[in-house]
Structure 1
Amino acid sequence: MNAPRTRVQRRPVHGVLLLDKPLGLSSNQALQKAKWLLRAEKAGHTGTLDPLATGVLPLCFGAATKFSQLHLDADKTYEATARLGIKTSTGDAEGEVIAERPVHVTAEDLARVEAQFTGPIRQVPPMHSALKKDGKALYEYAREGIEIERAPRDVVIHALKITQAAAESAGHAIKIVASVSKGTYIRTLGEDIGEALGCGAHLTSLRRTATGGFGVAQCITLEALQAMGEEERLAQLLPAESLVEGHTVVTLGSEDAGRFLSGLRRRGTWPDADHVAVFGEAPPAFLGTAHIAANELIPGRLLNPIEIQQILLNAQQTEATP
């Protein structure tokens, strides 16, 4: 007879966990594991990584989920390995081989292709992606053998380095390090580089090393998180305002802060700014985002008073813990 399962007592948790997503888990599976370990009530992630990809996956909890969209739009950096001479149905090692060609690639070829794919480029999104057509993900159509026409997208490859990689099982491989704009598909980039080299290619590994201002060195693994005690796990969380690094900072007195939190605009001598992080002065607290136009501070995404109280209380308890 199986013992009854213990019900997890959820609690309000606010902040950002920088997870080094493991191989084989979907982003949502990784999120649910971290959510369970933290006993968090509310959680979300800032864009997905494929199960075959590893690396930086910021997970947002509680109030931080309101600002997760900011990192969907952030520039990202990836390291990938591509096997030359073999194309697959998915553009990675999970797919079936659909074409094989001989490989004759020189250092000059790599330099030429590197220059060709640096800067603004156009990509056709892959069928094996989460983009939706009539409410259905493209990968669902792909599994049914249906090809959907996709419009090319304009993306930017800010920096690109392509080098020869160690041979993989007697094959040819290249290493790709790319810093890219939002919406860039690295599998598609690998396939397009393979075509430009005249031999085709598919990705055999993919790792995200940075997103926005977050790097892989700041991340924690699920295994390390699981080995920690409860308070130590909570200590791994960055505050919600870490998602608005680089925003113009405005600090309001208590009266203005209260009115701002109720959605009212505030007037001041501030210069125009599109991205503003707003803080209260007493007590010191992150209130939300805004923009400034014609000396008016116009509210964007806001924390509510209960969330702010919970964050301040958690901070006090953390400081009191020896």
Structure 2
Amino acid sequence: MFFHKKRNVNGFLLLDKPQGMSSNNVLQKVKVIFNAKKAGYIGTLDPLATGMLPICFGEATKFSHYLSESDKYYNVVAKLGEKTSTSDSDGVILRKRPIIFTSLELSLALKELTGLINQTPSMYSAIKYKGLPLYKYARKGINIKRNIRRVFIYKITLIEQKDNWIELNVHCSKGTYIRTLIEDLGEKLFCGAHVITLRRLKIGLLSCSKLVKLSFLEKLLNKKNTKQTNFLKKIDDLLMPVDTPIHFLPKIYISIKKLSVFKLGQKVNFSSTIQNSLVRVFEKDNNTFIGLGKINSEQILIPYRLVSMLTN
């Protein structure tokens, strides 16, 4: 490794999380590859799961929670007839039952699980109790009472159901546990079910066409003849802009004159049709992202959350 001092990396990466690794483990590997001072991920994926794991570097972390509130889209394949301790194939089989439901019963069960529903998170989840994730208690055989949470399932699309497995696409609100959804489906069908594969396809409007594989990053890192400057340019070119987590907010431009005041945290007059909304603020001349502002009904632009771009 030719790095010494950690870098101020600012940007956003859509990582394609590999199977068999925790989200935090993936984050730490990516952080080392980029030699970044500060990074975090949005939306924990189980070790079994793959797909979209957004990673925010530096200043992008200031806006990560806006994306975490967005809807999620998943593809899930489940095995019917078996209930496991973890609600997925990583656990031990607790109970086996015959699969005898009809297509109508399946349709009705999926309908019952659509809309506003209650979920009890699995003990094998990352929810924390007294500072420790629940799965650590579960591994010791300790059961903690979990609060029921209300989530919204916008749509469940049946892709295929054959013999003892079923494939679904799920569009849901934040906080939804797909493993719990599948286990609940299994109980409604009186046969039990658990997740075999789970892939996150989308968060909000972010497309999976820009996903970067961890193996690709590691391949770049392991090229022995790669010079440090060339390597850093290659990986930094993979980063999306700092404002990517809030890309859904309207974009406005302000002049250098107003910018100097705005950057000091002061309000400025701003004529716009946008009212009572957060906006992404950019410098007019060079299209530089300045941060979040809010335009009120009196056409005043108020600083909300500004970036402090750092040099490497």
Q: Establish whether TM, by shorter chain, passes 0.5.
A: yes
Name the SS for the 2:20 alignment partner: coil
- In 2, distance between residues paired with 1:189 and 1:300? 37
- 1:161-205 Cα distance to aligned partner (Å, 9 max, x none): 1244455xxxx0111210111010000001011111111111111
Deviation at 1:9, TM superposition (A): 3.9
TM (norm. structure 1) is 0.87
Of 198, 201, 216 in structure 2, the residue corresponding to residue 209 of structure 1 is 201
Residue of structure 2 equivalent to 1:320: none
Determine if the alignment matches structure 1 residue 238 to structure 2 residue 234.
Answer: no
Amino acid at match of 2:306: L
What are the within-5 Å matches in structure 2 for residues 157-236 of structure 1?
157-165=153-161, 172-228=164-220, 229-236=231-238
Determine if the alignment matches structure 1 residue 256 to structure 2 residue 238.
Answer: no
Higher alpha-carbon deviation: 290-299 or 186-195 = 290-299
Of 249, 264, 274 in structure 2, the residue corresponding to residue 247 of structure 1 is 249
- 1:220-264 Cα distance to aligned partner (Å, 9 max, x none): 111122333432221111111222112022211112222222222
Residue of structure 2 equivalent to 1:267: 269
Would the aligned equivalents of 1:110 and 1:163 in 2 still touch at CA under 8 Å? no
Cα gap change, 1:255/1:89 in structure 2, threshold over 3 Å: closer, same or farther? same
Deviation at 1:116, TM superposition (A): 1.5
Cα gap change, 1:6/1:285 in structure 2, threshold over 3 Å: closer, same or farther? closer
Matched residue count: 300
- In 2, distance between residues paired with 1:142 and 1:174? 27
Determine if the alignment matches structure 1 residue 71 to structure 2 residue 75.
Answer: no
Residue of structure 2 equivalent to 1:144: 140
Determine if the alignment matches structure 1 residue 13 to structure 2 residue 9.
Answer: yes
Deviation at 1:114, TM superposition (A): 2.0
- In 1, distance between residues paired with 2:2 and 2:242? 30
Superposition RMSD in Å: 1.9
Name the SS for the 2:212 alignment partner: coil
Amino acid at match of 2:250: T
Higher alpha-carbon deviation: 255-264 or 72-81 = 255-264
Deviation at 1:6, TM superposition (A): 5.1
Name the SS for the 1:227 alignment partner: helix
Of 45, 51, 54 in structure 2, the residue corresponding to residue 49 of structure 1 is 45
Deviation at 1:276, TM superposition (A): 1.4
Determine if the alignment matches structure 1 residue 280 to structure 2 residue 283.
Answer: yes
Deviation at 1:22, TM superposition (A): 0.3
Higher alpha-carbon deviation: 227-236 or 186-195 = 227-236
Residue of structure 1 equivalent to 2:228: none
Determine if the alignment matches structure 1 residue 132 to structure 2 residue 128.
Answer: yes
**Any stretches of 5+ residues in structure 2 without a counterpart?**
221-230
Cα gap change, 1:93/1:244 in structure 2, threshold over 3 Å: closer, same or farther? same
Runs of 4+, deviation exceeding 3 Å? 5-9, 163-167
Amino acid at match of 1:302: L
Deviation at 1:144, TM superposition (A): 2.5
Q: What percent of counterpart residues are identical?
A: 40
- 1:128-156 Cα distance to aligned partner (Å, 9 max, x none): 11212233322222223222222221111
- In 2, distance between residues paired with 1:234 and 1:216? 19
TM (norm. structure 2) is 0.89
